Amino acid sequence: MAAAGGELFLRARGRTLNAFREDKEYEWKGPFYFIQGADPQFGLMKAWAIGDCDNGGDEWGEEIKLTEQAVRAINKLNPKPKFFVLCGDLIHGMPGSQWRTDQEQDLKKVLKNTDQDIPLVFVSGNHDIGNTPTRETIDTYCKHWGDDYFSFWVGGVFFLVLNSQLYFDSSKCPELKQAQDVWLNGQLAVAEKHKCKHIIVFQHIPLFLRKPDEENDYFNLEKSVRQEIMEKFHKAGVKAVFSGHYHRNAGGSYRGLEMVVSSAIGCQLGEDQHGLRVVAVTAEKIVHRYYSLNELSSQGIDKDLVDMLAKQN
């Protein structure tokens, strides 16, 4: 059954996600899974094909079909995922661009068909709030998609959604980066107090693509910023960071912190297929697997993952 109304897209309010009752979710209740997607980015496929990523995104029929396929595949899954998180670059049109409103409306039309029992979780990307965000671009995003950073609990696991653009370039809104930093420190203290089973982070830009000490790149965070965040996450016991942005699958680890970079629902910039990541959470570990949309549509989740979810621990 499809969910209706604008509230579907505005569940992240007051720095939390109102799809889950926090006081009911502090306790571990057994294994579960969620779906991670990234970069539907309506408009990029045409822009990339014609070699004009700044002005060329005037068609997005392919992205509509791919996102429709993703929603159908998710709706068929049994058991149902706890939620579906989209890790940024929801659309290609940058703030102020001419195609942006139509791209947002068309994406929402597709996402409205997601099973109403599978909450949508949105993460802001650089195309959603701009490479150098401002208070205005962030406010506009929040009016359409909910808070740009927030936390929520599911079954004893603590999830953090971050605005990674504030780490990439906060030169036009330094006070907003500072506010997120203060909030994040407070949230990590809350996680410690409640003795959560795992801490998992969602952000658009990866900390790194393959190695923690790799050189600065358009697709990762600057080295000194990256190091500070990695150390903070390591000390807090964060298990994994899930990102998009790269339009390819990648990843690595830093002192027990796993960096998971997922390819896109939309435009591919490498050799991967349009797809989604299935993330299973058990008491001991986090197991994830990337599926092409065709695989997930036709076969569903692999039996070993289903068996893992069936174990009560």
Contact between 291 and 68 (Cβ < 8 Å): no
- pLDDT over 90 at 285, yes or no: yes
pLDDT tens-digit profile of 125-164?
999 999 999 999 999 999 999 999 999 999 999 999 999 9
- pLDDT over 60 at 2, yes or no: no
**Residue 193 CA from chain centroid, whole number:** 25
pTM above 0.95, yes or no: yes
pLDDT tens-digit profile of 67-114?
999 999 999 999 999 999 999 999 999 999 999 999 999 999 999 999
Token pair listed for 159 = 């999830």
Q: Would you call 292 helix, strand, or coil by DSSP?
A: strand
E strand or H helix at 122, and its extent? Answer: strand 120-122
What mean pLDDT is predicted for residues 167-194? 96
What mean pLDDT is predicted for residues 265-285? 97
**Residue 55 CA from chain centroid, whole number:** 25
pLDDT category at 22 given cuts 50, 70, 90 is confident
Query: What pLDDT, on the 0 to 100 scale, is given for residue 5?
Result: 52
Token pair listed for 87 = 């890790």
Distance CA 118, CA 116 (A): 5
- pLDDT over 50 at 55, yes or no: yes
Query: What pLDDT, on the 0 to 100 scale, is given for residue 23?
Result: 87
Contact between 40 and 274 (Cβ < 8 Å): no
What mean pLDDT is predicted for residues 179-192? 96
Concatenating the DSSP letter of every residue in 148-208 gives: SSEEEEETTEEEEE--THHHH--TT-HHHHHHHHHHHHHHHHHHHHHT-SEEEEE-SS-S-
- pLDDT over 50 at 3, yes or no: no
Per the prediction, the chain carries an average pLDDT of 95
